[in-house]
Amino acid sequence: MRASNSLFKKNSCIPTQPTSISQKRKKDHSMKKFIYFLLSTMLMVSLLSTSAFAMYSSSKAITYSDKHALSPNSLNTVGEGYNVYSKDCTNFVSQCLYEGGLTQDSQWKSTLTWQGNVPRRTDSTIWTVADDFKNYLISSGRSIKIGSWSLNGSPAPYRTFAYTNNSNNLKTTNQGRVVLFYDWYGRGKMSHSAFFVEDNGTSTDSREKTGDLINQHTNNQLHVLWRPDYRDTVNKETTRVYAFEITDLT
């Protein structure tokens, strides 16, 4: 008796073409490489968005300085803001630089801590004292000295040039990156600091005209001339001014 051809086909096992093991491994390896690339890219984007990896922004520093020149950014109950001192000039300049993206280190720092639910800030003397901050900017290599001036100019050992409203050393390309230090008594020790914010603008002080403008605390001033002799008539004969440009912009 002849077997049915249809029955044979129904019960027969027709294998499919087997998948190559090497092809499967290649596919898995490609997928792992893609996932690794994707995760690496996401991590890099995240790191670059943090302040530690962000470039210094002069515009952010100036925006912060303009906002808080007349209204200090006092520490609030949720830990935002900073300490405010009776002599607040260098504390304010440090804030401007930090808000612009200059990173703190073991010497120049303002540290936020909590005592229960109460925020506290601890500031280093370099963060808050003009002469200490000037010495730090020199020794750390984070800045270069770009100028020194007095009312009529002076010879060595503290050589200075005579004031000019619009200095060639203070310009659009370094506004938001220059700290000005003031030695009221001409003794080589800084008594005050301010932040350069605008090249050749109009002063908000009616006693002054146009020129390079600063913001400062103690006394709080917004967009006034960098040279102090129009406002400070007591020490104008002895005052020397020094400018340091921040060069550490990463």
pLDDT, one tens digit per residue, over 158-183 is: 789 999 999 999 999 999 999 999 99
Query: Can you tell me whether residue 194 is helix, strand or coil?
Result: strand
Question: pLDDT class for 48, splitting at 50, 70, 90?
Answer: very low
**pLDDT (average), residues 47-69:** 80
pLDDT of residue 115: 96
181 forms beta bridges with 193, 242
H-run or E-run covering 152: strand 152-154
- Please name the residues in contact with 4: beta carbons below 8 A apart, sequence gap of 6 or more: none
Where are the chain's structural domains? 16-48, 54-250
pTM for this one? Answer: 0.79
- Residue 243's Cβ-side half-sphere holds a number of Cα atoms within 13 Å equal to 27
**pLDDT (average), residues 202-206:** 97
- Is residue 76 pLDDT above 60, yes or no? yes
Q: What is the pLDDT of residues 23-40, one digit of tens each?
A: 666 666 667 677 767 666
Give the C-alpha distances (Å, rounded to integers) separating 162 from 39, 138, 229.
58, 23, 12
- Is residue 201 pLDDT above 80, yes or no? yes
pLDDT of residue 41: 63
Percent of the chain residues topping a pLDDT of 90: 75
Percent of the chain residues topping a pLDDT of 70: 78
d(CA 17, CA 43): 42
